Amino acid sequence: MSLVIAGFPETKDIAKHVARSLKAKYVPIKVEDFPDSEFHISLKNNPKNHTVVIINSLSGEPNRKIIETLLVAGVAKDYHAKKVILVATYLPYMRQDKHFFNYDSFSSLHILELFSSFDKIIAIDPHLHRIKNIRKLSSKAQSITTNNLIADYIRKRFKDDFTIVGPDAESAQWSQKIADMLNKKVVILEKTRFSSEHIKQKEKKLGKNIIIIDDIISTGRTISGALKMAKKQGAKKIIL
């Protein structure tokens, strides 16, 4: 049994890099549309008796990409892959990690249930907040982080003194931990969300040189609020 790394057109570069690093075979995933907008998915090579690792980012068009990912898992299973593993560089629908209102969706749980055909799901820095461990949503799932890689990148490229800023409490799992790795001061802003378009952040002293670290930019209101606060305080250098 050998290892095969399968990549969609938008993830082919990272999939090829992973394949080279693991001395595994890279297999492209072909995505076509039928005239009625349904998807036709195929693998270039036979997955029989292989462990197939599918690398996909489900951002940008999450609904489309979820269906594409489920279909390629079905292809691998139908053609007798030994195991099928998903590596999601971005895993969508994680922000709804409970029922917030009467009769609304618990999307993080529901979405992971859709991926039950996979033998394993590896999510890179999923947006976990109230639920801290993704295994509580699915026994097949695990999360890995790029915090150490981000810290190394910052350490090598930014020599000036700086402050790490988290634009809201949910960013602390990245901003706080990266600041600790770098032995730098961190400021986590307090945010009140009134709607997707209306938020308020409590002003705090940020510093002259700041690096803002967060995982999701949806409307951009939270990030822009942090940027406006930094500009107002006379920040000289702002890195996002």
- pLDDT tens by residue, 30-64: 999 999 999 999 999 999 999 999 999 999 899 99
CB 225 within 8 A of CB 219: no
- pLDDT tens by residue, 101-158: 899 999 999 999 999 999 999 999 998 888 889 999 999 999 999 999 999 999 999 8
In this prediction, residue 1 has a pLDDT band, given cuts at 50, 70 and 90, of low
State the pLDDT at residue 200.
Answer: 87
Compute and round to an integer the Cα radius of gyration of the chain: 20
Q: Which among 117-126, 191-200, 210-219 has the top mean pLDDT? A: 117-126
Global pTM reads 0.87
Q: How far apart are CA 179 and CA 18, in angstroms?
A: 28
Task: Please tell me the least confidently modeled range out of 106-110, 119-123, 194-198, 219-223.
Answer: 194-198
Cα 117 vs. chain centroid, distance in angstroms?
A: 20
CB 143 within 8 A of CB 121: no
Q: Which phi and psi angles does 36 have, rounded to 5°?
A: -90, 15
Q: How far apart are CA 142 and CA 225, in angstroms?
A: 32
In this prediction, residue 195 has a pLDDT band, given cuts at 50, 70 and 90, of confident
- pLDDT tens by residue, 6-25: 999 999 999 999 999 999 99
State the pLDDT at residue 95.
Answer: 86
In this prediction, residue 217 has a pLDDT band, given cuts at 50, 70 and 90, of confident
Q: How far apart are CA 25 and CA 4, in angstroms?
A: 5
**3-class SS at 167?**
coil
Mean pLDDT of all residues in 172-180? 93
Q: How far apart are CA 20 and CA 149, in angstroms?
A: 19
Structural domains of the chain, ranges and CATH numbers in brackets: 3-144 (3.40.50.2020), 147-239 (3.40.50.2020)
**Number of residues written out for the chain:** 240
Which residues are bridge partners to 124 per DSSP?
144
State the pLDDT at residue 199.
Answer: 85
In single-letter form, the type of residue at position 228 comes to K
Mean pLDDT of the chain, nearest integer = 93
Report whether pLDDT(88) > 90: yes
Report whether pLDDT(219) > 90: no
Report whether pLDDT(80) > 90: yes
Report whether pLDDT(179) > 90: yes
CB 83 within 8 A of CB 91: no
Q: How far apart are CA 58 and CA 29, in angstroms?
A: 15
